[in-house]
Structure 1
């Protein structure tokens, strides 16, 4: 069985919208696109390289696919090779042109399609960006691991990975790293129901 890993860049207030460029996603009048760019350093690049060093395939929503397909095939250094070599499974309600090498449309319901992919043979499946799709897969209980990069910035508005309607659940931190720019990388596994308690005095 293949694992499904959600990898996401987040602000401190949980927003994943448009980390890379001002024009990436302006839905809702979002004015802070590119909020992650100036926090990257060499150590973060090395950590990302390690995260992409094992074989994987991608599961992407249509918007993220279009952004990636317009960028990564044009990058000629080794950083692009894992993404260009991966099979790209694309969730879309339409019939998009999938011109990026090794791109496959997920037919029908996205959650059912990804569940079927998980049952097959192959490397881990990684969701990058793709906020709406990630929420669908979270609600369906299909996520096996979260790799979350939290940046020291608050934007106050925008699309969130764990948006309203997310199923409440506990998580277990299994790996972490803090970078000099203040970015924190955490790897979490789903841990079932939230263990509730009380600090009230008897």
Structure 2
């Protein structure tokens, strides 16, 4: 069975975006780019909610470099009740039952499935026990307000820390797995 990994950057106070969908505070540098390259080589599929998909689809098609090549080439699914199409290369729009579709994707052959951003969508998958690992990059900034990464989680979910990777920039990457896994 394929693994679903949620990967997000957050502020120390737990926000993954500042007001207005602002993510300009992310610390992105060579060491983080290398980590992304190392850890996402086995990715076969990316999952997005609508808002994150629209931000990614607006940026990556015109970007250059190794990460852009990956983002533009990998299989992608966007889950939305309001979109009528998905124009970004290799993207499938899913308007129906997200949980059933992710369960189906987990059963298919292929590489790891990653969720980027998409807090509401990820909360839905977390509630159904479909996230196998959480990778959180904690950025050395306090935002004070914004969109919290974890919201609408229906019950306490105990996690086990499996890996810590501090970067010179001050970002600390944490890997967690659900304790019941």
TM-score (norm 2): 0.91
Q: What residue is the counterpart of 2:62 in the other structure?
A: 74
SS in 1 for 2:16: coil
Choose which of 144, 158, 161 in structure 1 pairs with 2:149: 161
Q: What displacement does 1:190 show?
A: 0.7
C-alpha RMSD over aligned residues: 1.9
Whose strand proportion is higher, 1 or 2? Answer: 2
Q: C-alpha distance in 2, partners of 1:55/1:192?
A: 24
Could you list the structure 1 runs, at least 4 aligned residues long, displaced by more than 6 angstroms after superposition. Answer: none
**Structure number with bigger Rg:** 1
Structure 1 stretch displaced more, 160-169 or 121-130: 160-169
Tell me, in whole angstroms, the C-alpha distance in 1 between the residues paired with 2:3 and 2:123. Answer: 17
Is 1:94 matched with 2:89? no
Report how far residue 95 of structure 1 moved: 3.8
Q: After superposing the two structures, state which structure 1 stretch, 72-81 or 156-165, moved more.
A: 156-165
Could you tell me how far apart the structure 2 residues matched to 1:2 and 1:165 are? 23
Counterpart-to-counterpart distance in 1, 2:64 and 2:70: 12
Where does structure 2 lack aligned partners over 5 or more consecutive residues?
A: none
- Out of 144, 154, 162, the position equivalent to 2:132 is 144
**Aligned positions of 1:1-202 closer than 5 A:** 1-18=1-18, 26=20, 33-36=23-26, 39-192=27-180
Q: Unmatched 5+ residue regions in structure 1? A: 19-24, 194-202
